[in-house]
Amino acid sequence: MSRSRDEEQTHLDTRSRALVPIALALFLVCSAACAIAPKETFRGYAGPDRPAASVATIDLGDASWAKIDYIYAARSKYDRIALAPGFYSIEWGKVFVVSVMIDARGFAEHGSRAPVTLEAGHLYRLGADRTTGPGYRVFLWIEDVTEQRVIAGHTKP
C-alpha cells in the first residue's frame, strides 16, 4: 500500500513542525551556555597564585566596570578581582537603561568612589541599584559578603 502525494506531503509537514520546537530548544540551550560562560578573575597582585584565604576578592556584582588604584577591569571580561589585602581606592560604575525622558541616549551611567581597607579571605561585592519614576535615585555600595555588612555607600531601601 503506497501513500498518495498529498498524504506524503502531510506526513513531512507534521514531522517538520515537530522538529521546529526541538531545534529552537537546542538553540536556546546552546545560547544560554555561551552567555553564562565563566569569566576570568583579574589578579591584581604580583607573583604566583595565592590561596583564597590570603587574598581579598572583589565580585563585580552589579557593576559594569571597576577601577582599583588605577587597575581597570571591565565586566565584559572579568567577574572578580583578587588583590593583596590592604587599603585601596575603589571606583565602580553601572550603566542603566533609562527612559529617553531621563537621558536622550536611552542609558545613563552612574559611578562612585570609596577608600576601603580589604581583608584577606574576605569576599566583597560591588552593588548598584536605582529607583524609577518620580524622585529617580541611584544607589551604589560595597558589601563585605563575608561579614554581611555594607562597608561603603548606601543600599536601596
Pair 28, 93: CB distance under 8 Å: no
Q: What is the pLDDT of residue 34?
A: 47
Confidence of residue 11 (pLDDT cuts 50, 70, 90): low
pLDDT in tens, 85-97: 999 999 999 999 8
The whole-number average pLDDT for the span 72-100 is 92
Positive or negative: CA dihedral 152, 115, 57, 42: positive
pLDDT band at 32 (very low <50, low <70, confident <90, very high): very low
